[in-house]
């Protein structure tokens, strides 16, 4: 039984440590997921507190894992573990049934699980949880309560410091698509098919756009265009971002795959964006735009907001529209700054540590 208790502690403890850590180094991502749940369960009034709930959740989760692994405060930890597991098993069961949020985010961006997989994972963990809960009274205390509390406090404080650093900067480990060093160029091309219908017989035929006999006037007079179909099965997409100008033209590949240095200022909401961050990024744009560096502001805000930004900062910064969710996934900062070259993500910056002109010119010189 002692061995079973030990194995149970390690299984649950390591799971909670991993889950708490990968979410703790990305508190903004955890906040976004909590906001999704609050909206799904009609708790919109609690959205302003989502960031505090994020820190609370990941700290409790990580602490339970550490306390289990080190056998600290095992009675209180056993109760906290049982309550948490029962609550989240019930929540994930309803998630699996009704799918209010497609991805629960229980392992952050590190591991993606479906709602049913998350529920089965929790059902599996309930067994060692019950073993820990009903056997904690058999544990022999080998160190004093004061020493246990000291060790526990040190771990909690250290974890909170790492989480806060990740919140005020960027996650030290990036599990998302737009991580530094990744090539985001799209490979393969879409095939465009055009459906034509014979005016006399009503017969329909599908042709590749390049195979339409436009120069055959007889054929063109007998057939009329019906619809267009796009086959993108051969396209390897490295990301799901689509960049549109305000005339509804797709500028994604032109901007992302720019062979020169391309700065992207990502601001999913200009209304909520940090003013100092906007000021610093626009200042950088004004100093570098005439030195061979290209800039683009990506936002989900309306064109009206971008015009207000232009007037406020007296700038002609090129602005484009993109999905807010994709921009949040791109960088955990509003605004955030990315530098790309030929589709490769060179570096990313939180608005609190926007680089100066000298740093860019020395590290990324234009040849």
User: What pLDDT, on a 0 to 100 scale, did the predictor assign at position 141?
Assistant: 65
pLDDT digits (tens, 9 = 90+) for 166-180: 999 999 999 999 999
Place of tokens 């904690």: 136
Q: Considering the chain, what is the average pLDDT of its residues?
A: 91
User: What pLDDT, on a 0 to 100 scale, did the predictor assign at position 339?
Assistant: 97
pTM of the model: 0.83
pLDDT band at 229 (very low <50, low <70, confident <90, very high): confident
User: What pLDDT, on a 0 to 100 scale, did the predictor assign at position 139?
Assistant: 65
pLDDT band at 140 (very low <50, low <70, confident <90, very high): low
Task: For the chain, give every domain's residue range.
Answer: 2-168, 191-231, 252-363
Mean pLDDT to the nearest integer, 194-215: 86
Spatial separation of the C-alpha atoms in residues 313 and 334, rounded to whole Å: 17
Let me know if domain 252-363 sits in CATH 3.40.30.10: yes
pLDDT digits (tens, 9 = 90+) for 307-354: 999 999 999 999 999 999 999 999 999 999 999 999 999 999 999 999
């Amino acid at each position: 039984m002692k061995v079973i208790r030990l194995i149970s502690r390690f299984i649950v403890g390591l799971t909670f440590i991993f889950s708490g850590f990968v979410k703790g180094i990305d508190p903004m991502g955890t906040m976004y997921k909590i906001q999704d749940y609050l909206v799904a369960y009609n708790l919109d009034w609690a959205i302003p507190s989502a960031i505090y709930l994020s820190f609370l959740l990941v700290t409790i989760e990580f602490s339970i894992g550490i306390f289990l692994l080190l056998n600290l405060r095992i009675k209180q930890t056993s109760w906290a573990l049982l309550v948490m597991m029962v609550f989240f098993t019930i929540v994930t069961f309803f998630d699996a049934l009704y799918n209010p949020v497609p991805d629960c985010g229980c392992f952050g961006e590190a591991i993606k699980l479906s709602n049913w997989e998350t529920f089965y994972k929790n059902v599996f963990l309930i067994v060692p949880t019950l073993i820990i809960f009903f056997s904690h009274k058999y544990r022999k205390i080998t160190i004093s309560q004061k020493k246990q509390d000291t060790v526990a406090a040190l771990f909690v404080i250290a974890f909170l410091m790492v989480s806060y650093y990740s919140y005020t900067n960027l996650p030290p480990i990036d599990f998302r698509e737009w991580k530094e060093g990744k090539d985001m160029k799209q490979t393969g091309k879409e095939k465009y098919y055009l459906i034509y219908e014979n005016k006399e017989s009503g017969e329909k035929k599908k042709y590749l756009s390049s195979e339409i006999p436009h120069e055959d006037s007889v054929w063109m007079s007998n057939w009329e265009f019906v619809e267009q179909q796009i086959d993108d099965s051969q396209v390897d997409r490295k990301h799901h971002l689509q960049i549109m100008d305000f005339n509804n033209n797709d500028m994604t590949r032109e901007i992302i795959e720019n062979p020169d240095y391309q700065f992207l200022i990502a601001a999913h909401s200009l209304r909520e964006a940090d003013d100092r961050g906007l000021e610093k990024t626009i200042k950088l744009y004004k100093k570098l735009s005439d030195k061979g560096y290209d800039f683009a502001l990506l936002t989900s805000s309306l064109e009206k907001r971008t015009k207000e930004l232009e007037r406020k900062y007296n700038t002609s910064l090129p602005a484009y529209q993109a999905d807010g969710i994709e921009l949040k996934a791109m960088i955990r900062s509003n605004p955030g700054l990315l530098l790309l070259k030929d589709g490769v993500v060179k570096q990313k910056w939180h608005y609190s540590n926007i680089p100066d002109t000298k740093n860019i010119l020395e590290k990324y010189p234009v040849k």
